[in-house]
């Protein structure tokens, strides 16, 4: 736990997931100011947007922060260039292997913390110089792997010497305490941070998560090798129907394009992609980030029976 706090330079070993569209400078700065690690999600955005967000977060906090590089983005090379030239302290990656960018990021002094969904990739990235590994189970929202958090985290812990951060299905102190029991030294929460005052997502998106039950975050896109978890709605039903008819990648991509933005900006809960994890069923309110962080810390300490978040 102390290894993660030292690596990130934070009070809590708690990272806010670098969610595309949702994780803007407003949310990330609030998390960093509250003692966690706030992350700006580059998603599919152009690199200049990422640069503006980095400048904005530096205006809003003097605490460490990160940027998530989404490796499927067509702008990925330019985004890496921006992250390098802005000397972002922590870089997380998602949806692929950051291997080709590892050297440039390390040379620029960035701490690189890739998200993985397998033991194989965790091992490979440790050899390439990853400073820690985020092991994300299939309970998570958005683009996911196949193995659940409960099974994946201890296997990654056994496979690498660098600190492991658990993600997927965690939304309260019970989840954090459980992840620490699995050998993780930190946690990453995504869906829980959407339901905060400082998150700029449309209120309909936040309220859909608050209203969701344990079976409402479903997976689409498995047939084309891009499983994505989002709240069940007209869009997920249309995608599932196309998949049953054996639709190809192009047709499905066309149907899915721009849908996350529709949910985030317009609050279209029928046709938008409400990416969220299975922890949606656990989330019952929309709260300020500071209040959430304090309660996560307090709940975890009570469960573990000791003070663990010393300043």
Please report, as ranges, the residues that interact with ligand TUI according to CB under 6 A: 20, 43, 70, 72, 94-97, 115-117, 121, 136, 142-145, 226, 228, 275
**Pair of tokens at residue 187:** 């946690």
Nearest to 99 by CA among 67, 76, 82, 78: 76
Using the minimum distance from each CB to ligand TUI, give the nearer residue, 97 or 204: 97
Using the minimum distance from each CB to ligand TUI, give the nearer residue, 178 or 260: 260
Shortest Cβ distance from residue 191 to ligand TUI (Å)?
11
Q: Which residue is nearest to ligand TUI (CB)?
A: 142
Using the minimum distance from each CB to ligand TUI, give the nearer residue, 110 or 274: 274
Using the minimum distance from each CB to ligand TUI, give the nearer residue, 56 or 97: 97
Shortest Cβ distance from residue 113 to ligand TUI (Å)?
11
Shortest Cβ distance from residue 94 to ligand TUI (Å)?
3
Shortest Cβ distance from residue 231 to ligand TUI (Å)?
14
* Strand order from edge to edge, sheet including 111-116: 14-16, 186-189, 164-167, 133-136, 111-116, 90-94, 65-70, 38-41
Using the minimum distance from each CB to ligand TUI, give the nearer residue, 176 or 239: 239
**Pair of tokens at residue 27:** 């949310």
Using the minimum distance from each CB to ligand TUI, give the nearer residue, 63 or 202: 202
Which alpha helices (H) appear in the chain, and where do they start and end? Answer: 2-8, 25-33, 47-60, 76-85, 99-107, 119-127, 149-159, 173-181, 191-194, 203-211, 234-244, 249-256, 259-261, 289-304
Shortest Cβ distance from residue 76 to ligand TUI (Å)?
12
Give Cβ neighbours of residue 80 (< 8 Å, ≥ 6 apart). Answer: 69, 101, 104, 105
Give Cβ neighbours of residue 43 (< 8 Å, ≥ 6 apart). Answer: 19, 20, 21, 70, 73, 260
Shortest Cβ distance from residue 80 to ligand TUI (Å)?
15
């Amino acid at each position: 736990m102390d290894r993660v706090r030292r690596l990130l330079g934070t009070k809590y070993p708690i990272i806010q997931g670098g969610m595309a569209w949702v994780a803007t400078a407003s949310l990330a700065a609030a998390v960093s100011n509250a003692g966690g690690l706030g992350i700006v999600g580059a998603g599919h955005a152009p690199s200049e947007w990422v640069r503006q967000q980095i400048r904005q977060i530096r205006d809003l906090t003097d605490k460490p922060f990160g940027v998530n590089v989404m490796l499927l983005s067509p702008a990925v090379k330019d985004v890496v260039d921006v992250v390098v030239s802005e000397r972002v302290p922590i870089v997380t990656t998602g949806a692929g292997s950051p291997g080709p960018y590892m050297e440039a990021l390390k040379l620029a002094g960035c701490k690189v913390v890739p998200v993985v969904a397998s033991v194989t990739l965790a091992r490979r990235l440790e050899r390439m110089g990853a400073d820690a590994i985020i092991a994300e189970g299939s309970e998570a929202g958005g683009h996911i792997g196949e193995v659940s958090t409960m099974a994946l985290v201890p296997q990654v812990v056994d496979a690498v010497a660098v600190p492991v951060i658990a993600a997927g299905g965690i939304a309260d102190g019970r989840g954090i305490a459980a992840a620490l029991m699995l050998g993780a030294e930190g946690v990453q929460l995504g869906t829980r941070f959407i339901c905060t005052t400082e998150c700029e997502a449309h209120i309909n998106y936040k309220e859909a998560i608050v209203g969701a039950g344990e079976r409402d975050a479903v997976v689409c896109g498995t047939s084309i090798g891009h499983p994505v978890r989002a709240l069940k709605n007209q869009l997920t039903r249309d995608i599932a129907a196309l998949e049953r008819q054996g639709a190809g990648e192009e047709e499905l991509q066309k149907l899915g394009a721009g849908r996350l933005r529709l949910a985030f900006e317009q609050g279209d809960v029928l046709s938008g992609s409400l990416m969220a994890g299975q922890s949606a069923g656990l989330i019952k309110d929309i709260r300020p980030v500071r209040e959430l962080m304090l309660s996560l810390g307090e709940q975890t300490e009570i469960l573990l029976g000791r003070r663990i978040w010393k300043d």
